[in-house]
């Protein structure tokens, strides 16, 4: 087996060393012998070991090539597939399909269980969001602030673009915290484990995902501003914005930070409605 490389800060490496926290992550994901697990950033394999003991197979993505070859030496005889490289470049659906075929698990629930690298946790979560159709559950360790934003309810300072988009497609729960001392080397921030379970029925219209994201994004670009003003940045005249707000039953002076997800969904729908014929002729 290759020598174990030292922790690399640039890869966000903070290895879990608290056995109790490791157990709680695996318990939260309710890992069973039917499950295919996706682990992002196995690191030195502390979580991987627990997952391999319980699951039907593990497919892992590790950016650090030295660690990847060390891990392959450690787990080569187990039901495990490693993709060495950046998970952000990976075709997740294809890797999952390949692991299903390799392990003969055509029907297995697919769960993401990971202690994510905090420096790229947002793009990784975005990627998982887009891959949600292939996933049964996601249980991830995050920087506490990120977990708070993901799970935030309307009205607070943490509620923003990411809360709305995540909760539109997932039931999000922040489960428990982990102090810096649970990791080696310790990070400078507190951590939290969150669970994201894909909703059977998304709160946002599935046919309007792109415009829903755009409306939410534009609304939160100026989170203290009234929606009637900020939504004109969609490139629409104020009259069209006011009409859509009325159709969505939202007062024009509302600010995005108080608006529930369902209201953003109504707004995306109203903004997508084609203008009536008389409006078109007025505009001509």
Binding residues vs ligand SAM (CB under 6 A):
11-16, 40-44, 46-47, 61-64, 67, 86-88, 115, 117, 120
- Kindly tell me which of 58 and 244 has the beta carbon lying closer to ligand SAM: 58
User: Smallest distance from the beta carbon of 70 to ligand SAM, in angstroms?
Assistant: 11
- Kindly tell me which of 92 and 120 has the beta carbon lying closer to ligand SAM: 120
Helices 261-272 and 161-169: crossing angle in degrees, nearest 10, is 90
User: Smallest distance from the beta carbon of 103 to ligand SAM, in angstroms?
Assistant: 21
User: Smallest distance from the beta carbon of 150 to ligand SAM, in angstroms?
Assistant: 17
Chain residue whose CB lies nearest ligand SAM: 41
User: Smallest distance from the beta carbon of 81 to ligand SAM, in angstroms?
Assistant: 14
User: Smallest distance from the beta carbon of 102 to ligand SAM, in angstroms?
Assistant: 20
What is the phi-psi region of residue 30: left when phi exceeds 0, alpha when psi lies from -120 to 50, beta otherwise? Answer: left
How far from 219 is each of 129, 227, 264, CA to CA, in Å? 20, 7, 9
- Kindly tell me which of 56 and 141 has the beta carbon lying closer to ligand SAM: 141
157, with CB counted inside 10 A (0-12, 13-18, 19+), is exposed
- Kindly tell me which of 131 and 244 has the beta carbon lying closer to ligand SAM: 131
Enter the DSSP assignment of 199.
-
Partner residues linked to 33 by β-bridges: none
The DSSP string of 183-207 is EESPPSS-EEEEEEEE-SS-SS-GG
């Amino acid at each position: 087996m290759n020598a174990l490389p030292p922790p690399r800060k640039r890869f966000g490496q903070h290895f879990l060393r608290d056995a109790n926290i490791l157990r709680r992550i695996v318990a939260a994901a309710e890992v069973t012998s039917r499950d295919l697990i996706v682990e992002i950033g196995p690191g030195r394999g502390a979580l991987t070991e627990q997952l391999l003991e319980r699951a039907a197979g593990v497919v892992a993505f590790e950016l650090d090539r030295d660690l990847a070859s060390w891990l392959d030496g450690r787990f080569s005889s187990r039901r495990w597939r490693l993709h060495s490289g950046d998970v952000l470049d990976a075709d997740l659906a294809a890797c999952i399909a390949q692991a299903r075929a390799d392990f003969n698990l055509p029907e297995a629930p697919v769960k993401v269980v990971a202690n994510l690298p905090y420096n790229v946790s947002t793009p990784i979560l975005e990627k998982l969001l887009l891959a949600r159709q292939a996933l049964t559950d996601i249980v991830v360790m995050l920087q506490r602030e990120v977990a708070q934003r993901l799970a935030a309810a309307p009205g607070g300072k943490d509620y923003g673009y990411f809360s709305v988009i995540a909760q539109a497609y997932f039931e999000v729960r922040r489960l428990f915290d982990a102090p810096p001392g649970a990791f080696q080397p310790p990070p400078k921030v507190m951590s939290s484990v969150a669970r994201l379970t894909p909703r059977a029925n998304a709160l946002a219209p599935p046919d309007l995902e792109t415009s829903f994201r755009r409306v939410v994004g534009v609304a939160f670009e100026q989170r203290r501003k009234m929606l009637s003003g900020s939504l004109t940045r969609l490139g629409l005249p104020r009259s069209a914005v006011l009409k859509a707000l009325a159709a969505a039953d939202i007062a024009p002076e509302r600010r995005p930070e108080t608006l529930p997800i369902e209201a953003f969904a109504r707004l995306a729908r109203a903004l997508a409605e084609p203008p009536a014929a008389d409006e078109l002729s007025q505009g001509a």
